[in-house]
């Protein structure tokens, strides 16, 4: 079996919780190098990934001919710069969401990837959450009939600031760029591109320096999609609410994988990604029934990358899809600024 030597640039939450543990749990990848200058991260990597080399110069990754795949896990404002360098260095590239800050940067990277004939994708792991997979299954079953409203939440409660660049007033910071790509990508996977967009983007916490709440409404011909995220939601609100002309589906609770990864567990057994019955969704049609949650598995994303590189399999998360997500973020910002519904063109 071919082994793909892989490097990670940046080792914050995403590198530590998602990329490194999953990559290292798959036999088809070798976590060869990690770029970071953070002393705490260096200590963590040294203790947990003893066969991975830590480098403090990005060129040690870009100039390494044995490294085929580079994961860009830096602050958002550097995604474009490092992805461009990696593609020019002949690497396949996974960019942490958001893809870029503006659509022009996304378009430039897509053109470059096509030119150098390398795989370019974005880490949309929430497509492989158990809750979203369950929502998709319920919609595709037709039991709800014609869908008229879809509402998805990504809520948290933190009434203070963390020591994180995500809380700073920098390009690409704030909750819309952080959690928005997940909710938008899921909606586009279910319903395609909208006709119109409305955005309400706010700073709600007195201590906040950047946006910490948003509500996006995507308008389709006969469907209204509402996407919401906030940092001052202490109650356990539904994660998904789906209304159809034949019934309703409501789902509480989050996919369990992030929690498991954050405490050091890895997807090494058949029990991975199974949600507890307590957070199974409820389908209300001509009868009321619990819907067993689908099994979540972030490894599917990486396996598709491997298969695309090695066997020319179809890429599941395309850069064009990711560019559409950035375009919707841009239009939502415009809508919020001008206080009006804007056309998706």
Q: How would residue 25 be classed by pLDDT, with cut points 50, 70 and 90?
A: very high
108 shares a domain with 165:
no
In a domain, 286, yes or no: yes
Domain housing 51: 4-123
DSSP code of residue 296 = P
Query: If you average pLDDT over residues 62-72, what whole number do you get?
Result: 98
- pLDDT at 270 (0 to 100): 87
Q: For residue range 126-162, what is the model confidence (pLDDT) as tens digits?
A: 999 999 999 999 999 999 999 999 999 999 999 999 9
Residue 241 lies in a domain: yes
pLDDT range class, residue 73, cuts 50, 70, 90: very high
Same domain (yes/no): 111, 131: no
Mean pLDDT of 282-296: 97
Q: Are residues 244 and 111 in the same domain?
A: no
The answer on 132 and 117 residing in a single domain is no
* 173 and 159 in a common domain: yes
pLDDT class for 181, splitting at 50, 70, 90?
very high
CATH number at residue 270: 3.30.360.10
Given a cut of 90, whether residue 230 has pLDDT beyond it is yes
Domain assignment present for residue 307? The answer is no
Encoding tokens for residue 243? 């209304």
| Exposed / middle / buried, residue 308 (Cβ in 10 Å: 0-12, 13-18, 19+) | middle
**Tokens, residue 182:** 């997940």
For residues 162 and 286, membership in a common domain is answered with yes
Q: Tell me what percent of the residues of the chain surpass a pLDDT of 90.
A: 97
Confidence band, pLDDT 50/70/90 cuts, at residue 194 = very high
Domain final residue pick, 80, 108, 123: 123
**Domain for residue 311, yes or no?**
no
pLDDT at residue 151 in the model: 98
Asked if 53 and 202 sit in the same domain, the reply is no
Q: What would the pLDDT profile of 249-288 be if each residue is shown by its tens digit?
A: 999 999 999 999 999 999 988 899 999 999 999 999 999 9
User: Does residue 304 belong to any structural domain of this protein?
Assistant: no
Interatomic CA distance for residues 94 and 69, integer angstroms: 8
**Residue 203 included in any domain:** yes
Angle, CA of 35, 39 and 43, to the nearest 5°? 85
CA–CA gap between residue 197 and residue 141 (Å, rounded): 27
How many structural domains does the chain have? 2
Residues of the chain above pLDDT 70, percent: 100
User: Which candidate, 41, 282, 12, places its Cα nearest to that of 164?
Assistant: 12
Are the beta carbons of 286 and 102 closer than 8 angstroms? no
Over residues 160-167, the mean pLDDT reads 90
The reported pLDDT for the residue numbered 122 is 98
Q: Which residue, of 72, 107, 123, is where some domain finishes?
A: 123
- What average pLDDT does range 117-132 have in this prediction? 98
∠ CA 177-329-35 to the nearest 5 degrees?
35
Could you read off the pLDDT of 204-215 as tens digits, one per residue?
Answer: 999 999 999 999
For range 73-80, the mean pLDDT: 96
Beta carbons of 303 and 28 less than 8 angstroms apart: yes
317 within a domain of the structure (yes/no):
no
Distance CA 124, CA 126 (A): 6
* Confidence (pLDDT) at 184: 98
Site of tokens 């029934």: 289
Give 163's pLDDT tier (boundaries 50, 70, 90). Answer: confident
Mean pLDDT, the chain, rounded, equals 97
Q: Among 97, 123, 149, identify where a domain stops.
A: 123
Specify the pLDDT at position 79.
98
């Amino acid at each position: 079996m071919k082994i793909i030597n892989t490097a990670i640039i940046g080792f914050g939450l995403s590198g530590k919780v998602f990329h490194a543990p999953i990559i290292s749990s798959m036999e088809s990848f070798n976590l060869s190098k990690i770029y970071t200058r953070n002393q705490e991260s260096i200590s963590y990597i040294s203790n947990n990934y003893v066969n991975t080399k830590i480098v403090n110069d990005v060129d040690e990754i870009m100039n390494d001919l044995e490294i085929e795949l580079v994961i860009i896990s830096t602050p958002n404002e550097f995604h474009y710069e490092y992805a461009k360098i990696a593609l020019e260095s002949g690497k396949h590239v996974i960019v942490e969401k958001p893809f870029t800050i503006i659509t022009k940067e996304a378009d430039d990277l897509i053109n470059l990837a096509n030119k150098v004939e390398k795989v370019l994708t974005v880490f949309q792991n929430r497509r492989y959450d158990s809750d979203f997979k369950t929502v998709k299954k319920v919609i595709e079953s037709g039991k709800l009939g014609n869908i008229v409203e879809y509402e998805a939440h990504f809520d948290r409660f933190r009434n203070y600031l963390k020591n994180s660049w995500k809380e700073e007033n920098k390009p690409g910071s704030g909750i819309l760029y952080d959690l928005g790509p997940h909710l938008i990508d899921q909606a586009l996977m279910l319903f395609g591109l909208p006709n119109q967009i409305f955005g309400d983007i706010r700073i709600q916490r007195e201590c906040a320096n950047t946006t910490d709440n948003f509500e996006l409404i995507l308008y389709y011909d006969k469907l209204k999609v509402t996407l919401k995220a906030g940092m001052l939601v202490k109650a356990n609100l539904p994660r998904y609410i789906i209304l159809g002309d034949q019934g309703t589906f409501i789902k509480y609770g989050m996919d369990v994988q992030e929690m498991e990864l954050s405490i050091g567990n890895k997807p090494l057994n058949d029990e991975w990604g199974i949600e507890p019955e307590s957070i199974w969704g409820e389908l209300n049609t001509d009868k009321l029934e619990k819907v067993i949650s689908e099994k979540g598995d972030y490894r599917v994303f990486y396996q598709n990358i491997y298969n695309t590189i090695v066997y020319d399999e179809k890429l599941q998360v395309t850069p064009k899809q990711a560019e559409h997500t950035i375009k919707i973020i841009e239009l939502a910002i415009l809508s919020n600024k001008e206080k009006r519904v804007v056309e998706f063109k």
